[in-house]
Structures are given as structure tokens and as C-alpha cells.
Structure 1
């Protein structure tokens, strides 16, 4: 997939390469306190146009992050990257944007094992070492609306002189051109749908956020093109390929102020192009603005018109002034982001509960009906382990009055949650032969489970000492 960049891999930070450091060794069998409170930590979440199916998105992303892709003759190793997979949908050479044919690959790093996107500029010859050093400034740009740049180097692994940029990899992402302008579609332009104004404002807010971070770092994006902006979630976008022009056109010096003003113009042209649903609409700007006036409110039209006049010297124009001018819509977008945060927290709470139950069932299965332990074939049938065995029957093997199995997921979840919490509620456990009956609390069962599991964890040497 063209311009697919960055990954999601086990971290709540964008690039997945710098997660929160752990303060202690990870123990998969350790759970946090108050297990019954987590599920109710977040109340119902309001409907949010920016929300999406979190579980489906993450499962799909994890799947595609580990796909081997199509088999093509690619180098086995490019510097410290291996297992290259082409991501371009269009196999035709296109040098329109960068001045060199460009290709995108997914690759795995030999340094940290994470996946990255490699953008290759074919046939580029580095004539000035200072050019590639300009990427160092981009590596310090850390913003949620910019695809993070990690490295840049030249390589001959493709049997030519290539320039390689290493960026974050976002599985399942697509470009705004693919999403809205039919790029890569043989019926280009035929099925493009009108973009709601709320969505356009969301895009503008995110791009403004990106430009503010870039301009504050004394840089310019230089490329704000639908084919180079990634859609990584529902209405969630990131500027991509920004650092490339600083290297490719290093010797063509333009003032930073001029480049930043050009960013504003490119920003306005992007919004007009998306609003018109036509990739070449800026060839006729008058017609484009007429369409924009008919389709969208005066506030959006005036904001775009201000951007398009970014090179005019009639007044001071910069991204900070623009952000001040659209402050009212920023609050609406910020509110949507808060609702999405609530939804993600709620989803995470449910997954936390799932993790608790998996650990609990894992412990039970380590103990129940264990064939032998310390040369004792009856270990799992004696003492407190026997309670756990018939508790397993109470949870999973109940039958109704007709002798049919009771398949009640609610009953299973309720019992396991009470066991994990160790409540004082008592239940009646009956043996399989119905000759024995025990009244025990979940608190006693939890204590039995933990002591039995800890017994299994004892080193063999310490057991022999006893």
C-alpha cells in the first residue's frame, strides 16, 4: 500500500519503539487490585464521528504487521533492515512529487525487531554530506500528526544508488488520495463521495497541529499532498514524507519563511482538492472555489481562502495566526478526541478483564487433574486442590433438570470474577459421585488456588530440602 508508514506494536506511543519502561520484572500471573471495579471505571461513551472499532482495527493491524507479503526479487538486507515487503499498489514509476521514482517497503529492524516503513528514492546520488544530515532535525519532531522519521541513508542494495528514509509503519493505513480521490482505482473519480464539513475541519485541525510542530522546529513540511498524507484510523491523519525535500533539494536554497508560507498555500490547496473530490481541481482555481462556496460554510471557505493567500505580503501570515482564527472549531475537534479517549479507555478496561480471566483459567488448568506432582499421583485430588476440581465442574460442567449441559457464559464470567476478587460469598460444591458436599467461599477458593499454584512454582532443589 503506497505511503503506508509506521507501526502499532505493543505501545501506546505512536511509533511503538519507546514504550513505558517497566519498573520491575513482568509477571503474567500478577493482577492489579480491585478486579471487579475496572469494568465499571468508565461509563457509557457518547457517539463520536471520529470513533472506530478499536478491537477490529488493532487485530487487523497486528495481522498485517506480521504478513510476509508478496514475493518479489528484493534484497535480503538493506543496511540493518531485512524481510522487505513492497507496499505500493501502483507498480508504475512516478517521479512527480520528489523528482525521483519512489517506492515504499515494510521492513524489520535487526536492532530492535520492530517494523518500519522504508521509502526508497531510486537513482538518487548524494553530492553533499550536509544534505543527509538535515534529517537529524526531523528526527526531533515528535507530533501525533506527523509520521516520525527515524533515519536516512544511501544504499546500493537495489543495484543502484538509492536514498532510503526510515519512518514509522502504520499497518492498514491508506492515503487521503486513495480514500477520497480514487487513487489506484480504475474508475477514478466515479465513486468519490462528498466529504462532510466536520471531517474536513478534523483534517484541518490535525494538519494545523502538524505544521505548528514543524514550523516551531524551524522546518517546513514542503509536501502537503493527498498522496503523502496517511489515514491511519477513522478520520485520523498524519503528514508523511516531509523530510525528503530537505535532502533532495538541499542545494536549492529558499528562505525558511518563504517555505513556511508555501506550506500554508499547499495546505489550502489540499483542502480545496479534497472538498472538490477531484485531484486536478487546482488547475482551475476559480471553478474550485465556486464549488467550495456551494458545498461548505462561509467560515470554512474564508479559512481556506486565507491559506491560499499565504504568499501575499498584505499581512502577516503564519500557522499560529491561522490556529487562532479557527479556535472555535478546534474545541469541537478536541471534544471529539476526548470522547474517543473515553471509548479507548472503556475498551481497554474490557480487555483488562479478559486478561484477568485468562490468567485465572491458566492457573486452574495448571492444577486441576494434574497427572503427578512430587511423585504423588493423587496430588490434584487431595485437600484444597479437590475443592478446585469440583469448583471447575460448578463453573463449566453444570447440567439442567433434563441432564442437558448448561452453556451460560454469564455464569462462567460471574464465577471467575468473584474468584478473582475473593469475595465472601459462599457456594455449594457437590462431588461428581454426589457423595460429598462442601460449602466454601470464593475467598477460600482463591486462597487455595494461590497456594497450590505457588507450590508448583517452588524450585525442585528447595522441595528436596524438605
Structure 2
């Protein structure tokens, strides 16, 4: 049964709640994979409740089940710059013969074409100076910073090497098929689909890998010049001049190497040798980013430990059901914890004003969490008694009372 409105299946081979991720309707150019139209949906898998990206190839009739062997190969390829392939199947749920390939879903992703090449619609600005007037401003694509370009190049080159090393070809190095999934993070999408579509055509893998390098070179030209046809013959000379004015010679050398004549000298390993300095710079940046994230994570981990301590205090201190039970609040472990609570939070100055000192609170809680041997003096509110105990002793009291 098809849902109304979008005319989509309610359930599809264990997936449900399909939502199109691409525009449709009049005036929207439909995307094609080879000779077939394709559409991408987000769907929820029933078995784990997680979202996945489903790319549907319309009106494709699979003639041999052996074509799915390529999907099995791609499902075993894991790389941070490749969107993982999960499975593939055929279906008639769309009232035709469709091939559906399932990939890992990345929310809020956009293609390199949409982010850096596609012209944005003009914006309207209204000025108020006695009377209102509207001015159209064209949003021209901005020049891609070279540092960002090299980050993209290194990530894509690493992904190509992974694929070539296992004897496969990417076949999808195109600005419309590479997704930007985070700040300067790119991932190649739609992998494995062309292998299924072209399974009945014998093609030399070495030739396909050389084609990968050529497509990679064209992509660099397109990103530098904001034009997918920048490396074609009519635009080549102007593109070279533009790259020479706006980018370092290293960019032009890498792009020219990739679109040069195929041969044994042209391989992804050779490209990585040419750009090895950029690879090292990217690795350094990645290590710095990891260090920053670990530092932030450690601070959050410390916060979580202190929150757990505060929760235990909340559970233990002055429970209303034991308000008339002196053995709970005024003797033994509970009494020490109550005095420690006052020591941490209820100190006053010489004018009997509350002392609001977050550093004191954090220091005390951290020492308690560790259970140090440092001793402190706990004084009763009536100042008629005092106890000298260590943080280690207090920690044991807290654990005993909580249990």
C-alpha cells in the first residue's frame, strides 16, 4: 500500500518512513546515474531503528543475481572518506523495477557541487533611507581556500588508495557524488552502484583505476574554477591561468598529473608521493583536532564524576521519610556526610555571609572522588563538636550510606 501525497511505500524490505532527500517537481533537474534516473531517500531500518540513505535506481531490471557480488565487496571496505555500503536489493514497491542500494546516512550533508560550485540564487536587500528600495545581489561562488582544497584532496586520495589496494575502482569521483559531512570533511558516496549497473560489461580494472585518477583531476579543476567543465578543451587554458593566479604551483602540478596520459607511472601512490608534504600537514591537523577533542572530553568526564557525587549527596542527606529517625541523619556515616556537606557548601565569612567559592567546591569534590589521605576538620553547626577525618574516610562513608 502506498502512502498518499508523496506516493511512497510504507514499508520497503525492512525499511520504513521514507523521506526524499532531493527536490522534485517542475523546474527541478533530476539526477542520473549513467542512463538511469536515481532518487535518494532517508529511511528507518526496523531492525535497529537507525536512519539510512537509500538510493533508488528507477526502471532497472536486474538480470543476474551475481551482480550483487560487487555490493558484498564494497560492504567490506571501511574508510573514513567513503560512505559505507550496507546492502542492495530489487523491489517493485515503486510500481516499477527498481534497484535500491543502502548506505550509511549522514545528516545535513551536502555535495561538493552544492557547496562550492552551484550558483546561489540572488539575495534581496532592503535599505531604509527615507524610502525603501530593494537591491538584488548576485551570490557568486567564492574561491575555495587552498588549505581546504588540500584537505579535500588528501582525504579523497586516501580513499582512492584504499579502494585500489583491494583491487577495485571508485568510479564515483564527481562533485555531485562527494558529500561534505562536516567542517572540511568529505566522503565519497554512491560507491558500488555503477559496479552493479555495469556488471554485464567486461571492463579492465586497471583502465577503471586510471579513469579514477582522471576524474580526480577534473574534480580539482572544477573546485578551483567553480566550473565542472573547467578541464575540458574549450576552458582548459583559461582554467590553467586562473589556477596559476589564485593557487600555488603544487595545486596545478597535482591536477595536471592526474589528467595526464594514462600509463604505469600514473598511480595513486605516485600522487601521494607528489603531495606528501600536504599529507603530513593534514595528519598534523588531524592529530591536533584529536587532542582538542580528547581535552574537551576529559573535562566533560570530570564533570560527570562530580555530578554523580552530588547525586549521591542528594539521595543521602536529610531524607524526609527519616526526619524523625536520629540514627539516619545524626549518627555514624550520615552525620559525617552531613558535616562534609556543610563544609563544602555552607561556609560563612567573618560577617556571617555565605561564601560562594566554586573553586573550593570543585577542589573538595575532586579530592573526595579520588579519596585522598588529606585530613580536614568538620565542625557541627552549633560548634559544640568537631571531627578530624580524611577524604578517604568520607568517601567510604558516602559509599556505605548510599548502598
Q: TM-score, normalised by structure 1?
A: 0.74
Indicate the SS of the match to 1:334: helix
- Of the three residues 74, 84, 92, the one matched with 2:18 is 84
Please give the alpha-carbon distance, in whole angstroms, between the structure 1 residues aligned to 2:99 and 2:396.
Answer: 61
Q: How does 1:311-326 map to 2 (within 5 A)?
A: 312-313=261-262, 316-326=265-275
1:181 corresponds to 2:150: no
In structure 2, what is the Cα distance between the partners aligned to 1:381 and 1:99? 82
Per-residue deviation at 1:369? 2.4
**Counterparts of 1:119 and 1:314 in 2: how far apart (Å)?**
34
Query: Structure 2 unaligned runs (5+)?
Result: 124-137
Say if 1:143 and 1:210, in contact at 8 Å, map to a contact too.
Answer: yes
Partner of 2:105: 169
Give the aligned partner of residue 248 of structure 2. 297
Pair 1:438–1:203, CA change in 2 (3 A): same
Gaps of 5+ in 1: 1-70, 455-466
Q: 1:88/1:388 Cα in 2 relative to 1: closer, same or farther (>3 Å)?
A: farther
- CA distance, structure 1, for counterparts of residue 228 and residue 329 of structure 2: 70
Q: Given the alignment of the two structures, is residue 112 of structure 1 paired with residue 63 of structure 2, yes or no? A: no
- 1:378-399, Cα deviation, whole Å (9 max, x unpaired): 5344321122233334334445
- Alpha-carbon contact 2:375-2:388 (below 8 Å) kept: yes
Q: CA deviation at 1:122?
A: 3.0
Output the CA distance in 2 between the equivalents of 1:453 and 1:422. 16
Q: How many residues align?
A: 380
| Structure 1 residue 220 displacement after superposition | 1.0
Q: Partners of 1:171 and 1:107 in 2: how far apart?
A: 12
Higher RCO (C-alpha under 8 Å, 6+ residues apart): 1
The whole-number CA distance in structure 2 between the counterparts of 1:132 and 1:412 is 61
CA deviation digits over 1:86-123, x for unaligned, max 9? 43366635133443333333333233333322222233
Partner of residue 236, structure 2: 285
- Aligned partner of 1:238 among 178, 187, 212: 187
Deviation of residue 308 (structure 1)? 1.0
Matching residue within 64, 67, 74 for 1:131: 67
Q: CA RMSD in A?
A: 2.8
TM-fit CA distance, 1:357: 1.6
Query: Aligned ranges for residues 302-381 of structure 1 at < 5 Å?
Result: 302-309=253-260, 312-313=261-262, 316-372=265-321, 379-381=328-330
Aligned equivalents of 1:268, 1:121: Cα separation in 2: 27
- Does 2:200 correspond to 1:251? yes
Say if 1:358 and 1:180 are closer, same or farther in 2 by CA, change over 3 A: same
Superposed CA offset, 1:141-189 (max 9, x none):
1112111111111223344433222212223333222322246x42498
Inter-partner Cα distance in structure 2 for 1:377 and 1:170: 58
Shift of 1:261: 0.8
Note if contact 2:81-2:187 (Cα within 8 Å) is conserved in structure 1.
yes
Q: Judging changes above 3 Å, is the alpha-carbon distance between structure 1 residues 78 and 257 closer, same or farther for their aligned structure 2 residues?
A: same
The runs of at least 4 aligned residues of structure 1 exceeding 6 Å deviation read none
1:139-218 mapped onto 2 (5 Å cutoff):
139-182=75-118, 185-187=120-122, 190-218=139-167
Q: Residue 341 of structure 2 corresponds to which residue in structure 1?
A: 392
Query: 2:326, 2:174 → 1: CA distance?
Result: 70
In the other structure, the counterpart of 2:367 is: 418
Given the superposition, is the C-alpha separation of residues 111 and 442 from structure 1 closer, same or farther in structure 2, using an over 3 Å criterion? same
**Paired residue secondary structure (1:222):** coil
2: distance between equivalents of 1:333 and 1:136? 31
State the SS of the aligned residue for 2:190.
coil
Q: Please give the alpha-carbon distance, in whole angstroms, between the structure 1 residues aligned to 2:192 and 2:296.
A: 35
SS of alignment partner, residue 413 of structure 1? helix
